[in-house]
């Protein structure tokens, strides 16, 4: 427990240089002692990676590492020690800072295999750092987006000198949790893949993957890739309305080998597509169950990696020492965090300073609809009522069960005329809470189910699940689900969406084709969200079979994925059932109306603290927290009990014992908390 800074906003933009995002000079380094070095660090296979080292001065320091495919600087271009603005903020805050071009990128040797080697390479880099005279043996790693992926992959190797990590909008299970989302390929990731091919491939990479007789054609192939990249970008919903169907490259088939220039310069892209089913190849990048170090995970609800970051935290939270911050925004701009936790996190783990960050609840998350931050001790949060909203006939949605006679709804899905992406958790495509009416209008391949106006606010926080009973005339097809908030003015704002490829309905590792006409119950997760449907708003669910170009088009043939051409395309006649026996519904994690955060007045004269004024009392499953003036005090719960009108908790922390009584009446709630020189009342 310690005094923390007053909460301040932090604007995060992943596509600007990470150094500038995190640079908060504090005057801990002296310009006269700043030291810069650069070298080629050997990996276990003899490949050398370009590495830059920034030191506060002579001596030993804790180290923060970032490994990047984006280019860390030109060899020989050293920063000016007399100009602190040219130096990373980490150095100015008393850390040695190390950056490294990843394999096959910019000044590094080797072949770029799109993160596939970044676990072992990260370990070897950390091992090299640990043996340097300027390292005190404590190393942290950080990054956002692609550098966040390299952060997770290195963390999964569990080097003994790697103490902690700070990852922003990334994945610890890239292929399974994102690249093949719901079994469908995230086609929007091709914008990033093409951009990385056009910029940053090292000479070592190019002269290795391109056969010598074709070296002279490399510039022409770059020109072809640039033309296809421009075609994709100029036919996305960035230029509303989305006309991806008019793009030669978005619509091109097959996906594997279809762009010969891309396949030549970046052949690993085709290797990824050649593994559409979860297997050992894909699981190599799944490290979220292997990580043993503390990580602060930063996500954004409408970020490309939203689901991945939350899933990584959920997989690791039971081991303790994990934190999750979920901001409101998108990959290009996450929005404001409640405060900037970067140095609080690393100062605690690498310098041993009591910054107070471990006295906070584990999770801070933004609530859309009411635009406020909340805290929790776990994710999903406690006290959720998982409520089913059933699809009914006449396009109706409600919590009421279906009747015998309600039947089904059908539509035709034509891969040559897919439903176009408009909003959501995207990369390179506009992301966020977009009005879906322009997508819905004039189409007969979207089933829309809408509930009654809500009599009061409805808050959800956690995973959204869809359960559909379906059939098709094809052996394979896709099903998409969108959860939508319909405002009183009629705008239909997207909350969250996802897809399931029918052949993966039972398992992502053992695909099973459908029998035409046979009925199947399919259950899948849309991901996590925190949102309040306001009083008078309506909940809506849209069902279809495409979301393009966010996801690739299912050709409905049941053939080998990503290798087929237009000749394989079939039009699917898909049916959604919703009667008494064959139900279809979406499950929402509804937050309990009983508050677990109580506002009141606190008097405290202990633990070196002296305060009288407004405060909050937070009650979670495992701990009690007092929050005042930006300071958290934690009490681990060792006893709890409740009845219909009273709750009682006893906790123990650095400030001694705390006993809490919460009395409920029909009209009010009274809270009293007492400890040694601690008194809280609401």
* Distance of alpha carbon 666 from the chain centroid: 41
Number of H helices, E strands in the chain: 14, 33
Say which CATH number the domain at 569 has. Answer: 2.60.120.260
Domain boundary (321, 353, 376) is at: 376
Q: Take residue 113 and report the two structure tokens written for it.
A: 């295999």
pLDDT tens, 123-154? 999 999 999 999 999 999 999 999 999 999 99
Residues 151, 18 share a domain? yes
Are 665 and 682 spatial neighbours (Cβ–Cβ below 8 Å)?
A: no
**Encoded tokens for 266:** 């970046």
Question: Per the domain annotation, does 563 fall within a domain?
Answer: yes
Sign of the torsion formed by the C-alpha atoms of 208, 213, 215 and 219: negative
Is residue 280 one of the residues assigned to a domain?
Answer: no
Task: Give the span between the Cα atoms of 141 and 21, in whole angstroms.
Answer: 15
Range of weakest confidence among 28-32, 388-392, 498-502: 28-32
Same domain, 621 and 485: no
pLDDT at residue 47, rounded to an integer: 98
pLDDT for 285: 97
Q: Which residues contact 78 (CB under 8 A, 6 or more apart)?
A: 36, 38
- Residue 233: name the closest of 250, 258, 252 by CA: 250
Q: Give the model confidence (pLDDT) of 406-453 as tens digits.
A: 999 999 999 999 999 999 999 999 899 999 999 999 999 999 999 999
Number of domains in the chain: 4
Shared-domain flag, residues 46 and 190? no
pLDDT at 16: 31
Same domain, 298 and 419: no
Confidence of residue 236 (pLDDT cuts 50, 70, 90): confident
Residues 450-462 have a mean pLDDT of: 98
Q: Which of 334, 355, 376 is the last residue of a domain?
A: 376
pLDDT (tens digit per residue) in 262-303: 999 999 999 999 999 999 999 999 999 999 999 999 999 999
For residue 13, is pLDDT > 90?
no
Residues 6+ apart with CB under 8 A from 230: none
Binned at pLDDT 50, 70 and 90, residue 237 comes out as low
Q: Mark whether 99 and 144 lie in a shared domain.
A: yes
Both 336 and 353 in one domain: the answer is yes
Residue 311: inside a domain, yes or no?
A: yes
Instruction: Tell me, yes or no, whether 431 and 542 share the same domain.
Output: yes
Average of per-residue pLDDT across 456-483? 98
Q: In this structure, are 210 and 226 located in the same domain? A: yes
Average pLDDT over residues 555-568: 98
pLDDT band at 664 (very low <50, low <70, confident <90, very high): confident
Does 338 reside within a domain? yes
For residue 17, the model assigns a pLDDT of 32
> How far from chain centre, in Å, is Cα 525?
15
Q: Is residue 279 part of a domain?
A: no
pLDDT of the residue at 666: 77
C-alpha dist (Å) from residue 170 to 142, 551, 674: 11, 19, 42
Torsion-angle region of 76 (φ positive above 0: left; ψ -120 to 50: alpha; else: beta): left
409 plus 441 within the same structural domain:
yes
Measure the CA–CA gap between 101 and 106, rounded to whole angstroms. Answer: 7
Domain final residue, candidates 591, 614, 637: 591
If one counts every other C-beta atom within 10 angstroms of the C-beta of residue 637, the result is: 18
3-state secondary structure 22-64: HCCCCCCCCCCCCEEEEEEEECCCCCEEEEEEEECCCCCEEEE
The neighbouring-strand residues paired with 619 are: 624
Domain of residue 112, CATH code: 3.40.50.1820
The residues, ordered by sequence, that sit 6+ positions from 677 with a Cβ below 8 Å of its Cβ are: 604, 605, 606
Q: Is residue 229 one of the residues assigned to a domain?
A: yes
Residue 180 within a domain: no
User: What percentage of the chain exceeds 90 in pLDDT?
Assistant: 89
Q: Which domain holds residue 194?
A: 186-273
Choice between 87 and 664, residue whose per-residue pLDDT is larger: 87
Q: Does residue 3 sit within a domain? A: no
**Which tokens in the block code for residue 387?**
């409520």
**pTM score, whole prediction:** 0.93
Residues 77 and 20 in one domain: yes
CA distances from residue 533 to 296, 467, 556 in whole angstroms, order as listed: 29, 21, 36
> What pLDDT shows up at residue 216?
97
Q: Rounded to whole angstroms, how far apart are CA atoms 147 and 170?
A: 8
Share of the chain above pLDDT 70, in %: 95
Let me know whether 463 and 558 are in one domain.
Answer: yes
Does residue 371 register a pLDDT over 80?
A: yes
């Amino acid at each position: 427990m310690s005094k923390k800074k007053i909460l301040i906003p932090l604007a995060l933009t992943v596509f600007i240089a990470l150094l500038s995002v995190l640079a908060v000079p504090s005057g801990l380094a002296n310009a006269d002692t700043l030291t810069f070095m650069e070298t080629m660090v050997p990996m276990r296979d003899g490949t050398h990676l370009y590495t830059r080292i920034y030191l506060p001065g002579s001596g030993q320091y804790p180290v923060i590492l970032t490994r990047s495919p984006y280019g860390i600087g030109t060899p020989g271009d050293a920063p000016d020690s007399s100009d602190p603005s040219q130096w990373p903020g980490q150095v100015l805050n008393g850390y040695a800072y190390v950056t490294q071009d990843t394999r096959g990128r910019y000044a590094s040797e080797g072949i770029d295999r799109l993160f596939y080697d970044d676990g072992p390479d990260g370990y070897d880099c950390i091992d090299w750092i640990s043996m340097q005279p300027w390292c005190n043996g404590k190393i942290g790693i950080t990054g956002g987006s692609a550098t966040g992926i390299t952060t997770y992959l290195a963390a999964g190797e569990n080097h003994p000198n790697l103490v902690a990590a700070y990852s922003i909008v990334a994945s610890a299970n890239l292929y399974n949790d994102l690249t093949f989302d719901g079994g469908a390929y995230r086609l929007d990731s091709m914008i990033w893949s093409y951009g990385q091919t056009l910029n940053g491939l090292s000479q070592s990479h190019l002269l290795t993957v391109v056969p010598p007789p074709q070296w002279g054609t490399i510039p022409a192939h770059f020109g072809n890739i640039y033309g296809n990249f421009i075609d994709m970008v100029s036919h996305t919903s960035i230029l509303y309305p989305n006309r991806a169907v008019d793009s030669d490259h978005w619509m091109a088939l097959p996906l594997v080998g279809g762009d010969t220039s891309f396949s030549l310069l970046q052949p690993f892209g085709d290797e990824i597509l050649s593994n559409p089913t979860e297997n050992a190849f894909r699981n190599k990048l799944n490290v979220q169950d292997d990580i043993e170090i503390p990580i602060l995970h930063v996500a954004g609800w409408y970020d490309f990696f939203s689901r991945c970051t939350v899933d990584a935290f959920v997989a690791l939270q039971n081991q303790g020492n994990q934190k999750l911050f979920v901001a409101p925004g998108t990959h290009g701009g996450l929005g404001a965090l409640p405060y900037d936790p970067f140095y609080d996190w690393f100062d605690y783990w690498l310098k041993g300073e009591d910054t107070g960050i471990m006295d906070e609840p584990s999770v801070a998350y933004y609530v859309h609809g009411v635009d406020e931050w909340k805290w929790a001790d776990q994710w999903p949060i406690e006290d959720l009522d998982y409520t089913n909203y059933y699809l009914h006939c006449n396009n109706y949605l409600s919590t009421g069960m279906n009747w015998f006679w309600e039947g089904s709804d059908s539509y035709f899905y034509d891969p040559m005329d897919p439903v176009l992406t408009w909003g959501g958790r995207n990369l390179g495509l506009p992301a966020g809470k977009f009005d879906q009416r322009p997508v819905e209008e004039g189409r007969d391949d979207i089933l829309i189910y809408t509930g009654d106006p809500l009599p009061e606010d409805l808050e959800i926080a956690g995973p959204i699940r869809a359960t559909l009973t379906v059939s098709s005339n094809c052996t394979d097809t896709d099903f998409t689900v969108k959860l939508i908030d319909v405002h009183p003015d009629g705008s239909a704002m997207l909350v969250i969406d996802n897809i399931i490829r029918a052949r993966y309905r039972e398992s992502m590792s053992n695909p099973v084709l459908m029998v035409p006409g046979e009925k199947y119950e399919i259950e899948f997760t849309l991901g996590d969200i925190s949102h309040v449907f306001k009083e008078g708003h309506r909940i809506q669910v849209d069902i279809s079979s495409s979301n393009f170009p966010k996801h690739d088009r299912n050709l409905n043939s049941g053939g080998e994925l990503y290798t087929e051409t237009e000749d394989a395309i079939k039009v699917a006649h898909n049916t959604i059932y919703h009667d008494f026996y064959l139900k279809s519904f979406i499950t929402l994690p509804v937050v309990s109306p009983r508050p677990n955060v109580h506002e009141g007045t606190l008097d405290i004269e202990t633990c070196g603290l002296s305060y009288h004024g407004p405060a909050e009392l937070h009650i979670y499953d495992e701990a009690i927290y007092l929050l005042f003036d930006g300071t958290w005090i934690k009490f681990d719960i060792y006893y709890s009990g409740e009845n219909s009108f009273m709750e009682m908790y006893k906790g123990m922390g650095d400030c001694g014992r705390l006993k809490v009584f919460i009395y409920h009446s029909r009209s009010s709630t009274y809270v009293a908390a007492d400890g040694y020189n601690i008194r809280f009342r609401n």
